[in-house]
Structure 1
């Protein structure tokens, strides 16, 4: 029998061996100590994501990940075709996917969040290395032949394992591995070039630091607190960035049309010179690659593994929604035209006017002051309320892990437990405040997939929620606009999808569902931001925590949600979805010309701003997995409305239904097709009717 000291030494050796397997070659000095602490600290071998890497360590870790990956691929490829088995071919590949994901994300996350420009650059460099390696690995014919030999044996597997093996083969064939060697080489070259250009495009947008200067008079209508938050230039004017936290408040509240026009034009001109040729080159390369792989266009290739399956189905969906929404949108536009004529003596509503006059109409119709409303949403109260709601609905428990520093001083970390079993389900980072160099949009970044590792070991999911709230510099706490509350609650829904999923394979973890279903759960959860019972849990006046948001304000917010839904859908979803489909089905397009023609066709004759090209800064057109998928936002809203009306309407805090949602929609992750997940939850095929009932019947027929 082993002694206690012997057992401890054995356990320590196992942990060190595990770290070596995850990272490849042990990394000396401070980096290894960070990795060792991350792995053994608090959760044994469940946590592989590495924090606090220095710029040189980011690149070093990327190199080690690549080295480890190559060795695994070489080992699998060396298996004789007649000796292939699940244990020597499929299991090593599945384990590699699980283990390397968190380490790759350790290298990639700093590009989005680091306060160090050097770290962001090193992260970008590492991402290029890793993406190039992943592409090269996915094009290995020797690995494909071994996997194909295994599937040809027709061994009976569990459904998820069978799905994984079939997806491995499908992915290889979609990369061109069934083609002749010279065609495969061309496909690899095209894929590599597309990846390189997409990275440059995204970096240009992320690093854009454009600033406009305005006098106080040119910002008439803006709240005094907003004006105080702006920096002042040497000329005495106030500096305004094009980031969302400056752009949208000005577009909604500034009374000076020339100011709104200037900032809208500047935002839609971002990166126009450098990114327009990149975008059009990528579109051309994608079409060439699609043809090489045997598809009519890139949209047909991209949609093959999504719910929609075919470009024709997307086009049919979008045309149907335009037909449904246009009559109501015309009535909404008439309201804005009347308001503009009343204020300016001009009834022609331009792109730069829409948000301003929507806000003005809502204030008049609802008597709702958005700035007063924010007094009820201090950030800590909102965060606490969001956690309580998700705890109650999904049977969870959040425990904050107190750390002085994560990657920025305001980042907070939580362990997520199952409330009944107290079993660890995952970890969440909340990075809520804007800072220089940070990714400028709200999003959730999966950092580690939840999955099995074999030998009765598993790893828990880890995710980071990024937002860009403006941190208060006064004694007043940071107060959220209601729209920011909605975004926060929506993004936390993605966190829950990632953390609650229980897939055996990393490839099917959480948010790796079809991209045209990914937004549906979070869209459905936005309803909690308009219902009295849940709003009261997320709100309290910052001066008096006992002062709840009033029932009348809750009712007004619910009414506000119904204001201008058709016009918003045309502008925000159907235009960009139609543009995306055109760009990925037609060849050799002039993107600026397409936009100038398409925008008035979709948005009721409204012209696009002269000299702009919003496609040059639209990340969804370039981001992997989002190309030819911009229709998915509205597509998901339709499913979300159906789920909410069928299961939750009038019943939003029912944790029995919440647990059904967790188990039937979130837990499966991507282990099932999305349409099966939907029908399992609804008990029938999904329908568009609930969306139309919720959004097309506009309540505001007159002022």
Structure 2
């Protein structure tokens, strides 16, 4: 336990994964919470007059070992979980919620903060200090500092319940993902599937000691099957299995969890004086309020819907002409989209994959970061890791000084949740004159190498890698004083800008030439393929936009006003009405596995993907005007966006980079919607 309750003595103070034992976690949490409480008590009991330094700054730096322990434990609970770890998570989450509430509901601590806040105009604070003071004061108010004792007690109860419900929701989705597999023993049922996909399914079957081939609900297995398998009935079976996660009236059913989470969030918001959970959340976003978000989503819907309907009609006509399919179903979507794409552009993922060997793509991202921001990535073997698949890098500037430690974890496995994300094991901050550098991680689920082939990525996986790497750069290049304002600690509808803007380089010939090389011959990707990638970038973009908007509208339907939800499925169907293209599937419900909003941090924030697309298209247009590797534009982006974290209001930072506010024109043009 001792190792988790003090500063690490490893190289760069990296997490000592190999010496941590499962039984160490809970006692370490208890010890670190006790020590953090003592630090907070020392701030409260300081006899000196409250100042920015002895109160605000002291709070932000308090509880460092607890922050590090939490980041290690909860990151591993996503990337490398076990039943035992999930049990510990259920035990420690309420302790952390209670500790958080002990701080935000502490009247004496709030009095000190309020004393500084009330005197802020006389304090000659820097912009970053102003932001920290505002954020802390608002954070306390938004977490109940102005409530009476009875209301504070109620708030604590709600927060404890919510912490447990969100964990259970995620555990249920993971269990449902792991509990299903499709076993195929008749080789004819594999028709249409690429060789690499079949090979991976064979390896999956062998790992389970089963005959034939096995497909799972993990994305590297699920997506290729839905995209290429000719057998429509099996596509239907797999699609329905994916769509009914948490919706099977079994022990992993999430319907009541959805209702309870929504109800408690509204109750919490009302208790704090807000009309709804969305009003509460959006006060701290660029979008400001639900009305503005709904208006933004409906405005985008109005522009995208005609294109989406036209594209859907074209896809339906194509499926009828090809296979006599009269009504397109959801399990036909990826399959016929891919077939139509091949017909129009003669370009399919299998043709592209040999040019996207994982190691080459990652090195391409590194090279682009070097050209733009002057940093280099060097693989190292003396930093502890939590799984053999993880690779570790020193990120250095041109003087050879450490910028960050970078962990890359790219393959699916049991105990790792689906999807892709960026996280950190240590934040960046400056204390006692020392700039503590961050430890950043990218976690994805790409097709693993097989005995005959390296890991070859689909183009979609290439953009996913660049997306998460963009988040990673936001963390790695952070340069702020306070940990709570560092890196990706920004307004939620701003956090996707660095990630989404990074995807743009995947479409540029100049960038592709750096890494898109055939894994066997070393030949650079042919120019005609590059042109087709660019041409096909807008392929069925209207349909894709409608899908994104539907998720944003569902999120706002749940969180935009207080209500009673009698039936989750009925509620969801109503929210999807304006964006519906495909017939409904009775057995399926998206909400019960909508982890972004019910487990992750995207409640009342799913719109931010589209919001950030407006920002990223506008930002990349600036790069294109000057040249995609223009040092001056890159320096502005690094200085005003990547390094500044949450130290200023996002729109102010954006205007410093761009010289003006963003407009949606660049996005609508890029998407071919105008």
TM-score by length of 2: 0.93
Cα distance in 2, alignment partners of residues 359 and 608 from structure 1: 22
Distance 1:328 1:307, change over 3 A: same
Matched, 1:440 2:418: yes
The one-character-per-residue Cα deviations of 1:458-504 (angstroms, maximum 9, x if unpaired) are: 31111111011222231321111111111001100100001112111
- Whole-angstrom CA distance in 1 between matches of 2:289 and 2:140: 20
Distance in 2 of aligned mates of 1:172 and 1:443: 29
| CA pair 690-329 structure 1, distance change in 2 beyond 3 A | same
- Corresponding residue of 1:456: 433
Question: CA deviation digits over 1:496-546, x for unaligned, max 9?
Answer: 00111211111111111111111122111111111111112122111122x
Match of 2:279 in 1: 300
CA deviation string 1:569-624 (max 9, x = no partner): 101x10000000000124112321122233342134x2221121111111111235
User: Which of 141, 145, 149 lines up with 2:115 in the alignment?
Assistant: 149
2:485 matched residue in structure 1: 508
Give the conservation status (yes or no) of the 8 Å contact 1:98–1:506. Answer: no
Query: Matches of 1:42 and 1:514 in 2, distance apart?
Result: 32
Matched residue SS, 2:396: strand
SS in 2 for 1:608: coil
CA distance in structure 1 between the partners assigned to 2:164 and 2:79 by the alignment: 21
Give the Cα separation in 1 of the matches to 2:39 and 2:455: 49
Classify 1:536/1:126 alpha carbon distance in 2 versus 1 (closer, same or farther; 3 Å).
farther
Question: Compared with structure 1, are the counterparts of its residues 335 and 403 closer, same or farther at alpha carbon in structure 2 (3 Å cutoff)?
Answer: farther
Aligned to 1:491: 468
Q: 1:114-153 counterparts in 2 under 5 A?
A: 114=80, 117-119=83-85, 121-122=87-88, 125-153=91-119
* Aligned counterparts of 2:80 and 2:510: Cα–Cα separation in 1: 38
How many Å separate the matches in 2 of 1:56 and 1:495?
A: 31
| Preserved CA contact (<8 Å) 1:108 1:127 | no
Task: Verify: 1:478 aligned to 2:478, yes or no.
Answer: no
Aligned length: 658
- Summarize deviations over 1:230-287 as a string: whole Å, max 9, x none: 2347884532211111121112112222222221111111122321111111101111
Does the residue aligned with 1:518 lie in a helix, a strand or coil?
coil
Q: What is the CA-CA distance between 1:301 and the residue it aligns to?
A: 0.6
Structure 1 residues 123 and 198 mapped into 2: Cα distance closer, same or farther (>3 Å)? closer
Deviations 1:27-78 (A, max 9, x none): 54xx37x966x43x444xxx36442321011223222221111111111222
Q: Quick one: which of 136, 156, 165 aligns to 2:133?
A: 165
Query: CA shift at 1:446, angstroms?
Result: 1.8
C-alpha separation between the residues in 2 aligned to 1:70 and 1:405? 30
Match for residue 429 of structure 1 among 390, 407, 413? 407
Q: Which residue of 2 aligns with 1:263?
A: 238
Tell me, yes or no, if structure 1 residue 387 matches structure 2 residue 366: yes
Q: After superposing the two structures, state which structure 1 stretch, 689-698 or 274-283, moved more.
A: 689-698
| Partner residue in 1 for 2:23 | 56
Query: Residue 288 of structure 2 aligns with which residue?
Result: 309
Whether the 8 Å contact between 2:14 and 2:439 is mirrored in structure 1 is: no
Q: 1:248 aligned to 2:248?
A: no
Contact 2:80 2:416 in 1 (8 A): yes
The 1:246/1:161 distance shift into structure 2, 3 A limit, reads same
Equivalent residue for 1:224, pick from 195, 199, 204: 195
The alignment status of 1:619 with 2:595, answered yes or no, reads: yes
TM-superposed deviation, 1:125:
4.0
Where does the alignment leave 5 or more consecutive residues of structure 1 unmatched? 1-26, 699-703
Among residues 160, 182, 197, which one is paired with 1:212 in the alignment?
182
Do 2:355 and 2:524's aligned partners in 1 also have CA atoms closer than 8 Å?
A: yes
Distance 1:196 1:687, change over 3 A: same
Aligned residues of 2:94 and 2:160 also touching (Cα < 8 A): no
Counterpart CA distance in 2 for 1:585 and 1:191 is: 19
Q: What is the rounded CA distance, in whole Å, between the counterparts of 1:676 and 1:596 in structure 2?
A: 39
Matched, 1:591 2:568: yes
Measure the CA separation in 1 of the matches of 2:93 and 2:407.
Answer: 21
Residues 520 and 640 of structure 1 are in contact (CA less than 8 Å); yes or no, is this contact kept in structure 2? yes
| Distance in 2 between residues matched to 1:238 and 1:206, nearest whole Å | 22
Gaps of 5+ in 2: none
Rounded to whole Å, the distance in 2 between the matches of 1:161 and 1:298 is: 28
Provide the rounded CA distance (Å) in 2 between the counterparts of 1:671 and 1:323.
35
Q: Output the CA distance in 1 between the equivalents of 2:11 and 2:395.
A: 13
Indicate the residue corresponding to 2:265 in structure 1: 286
Change (3 A) 1:307 1:623: farther
The offset of 1:225, in angstroms, is: 2.2
Tell me, in whole angstroms, the C-alpha distance in 1 between the residues paired with 2:339 and 2:103. Answer: 55
Q: What is the TM-score with the length of structure 1 in the denominator?
A: 0.89
- Residue 375 (structure 2) pairs with residue 400 (structure 1): no
Distance 1:72 1:278, change over 3 A: same
Is 1:680 the equivalent of 2:656?
Answer: yes
3-state SS in 2 of match to 1:427: strand
For 1:260 and 1:347, the matched residues in 2 are separated by 17
Q: Distance in 2 between matches of 1:422 and 1:409?
A: 27
Preserved contact between residue 338 and residue 348 of structure 2 (Cα < 8 Å): no
Q: 1:349 to 1:624 in 2, by over 3 A?
A: closer
RMSD over equivalenced CA pairs, Å: 2.1
1:62–1:107 CA contact under 8 A, matched in 2: no
Give distance in 2, aligned partners of 1:227 and 1:487: 23
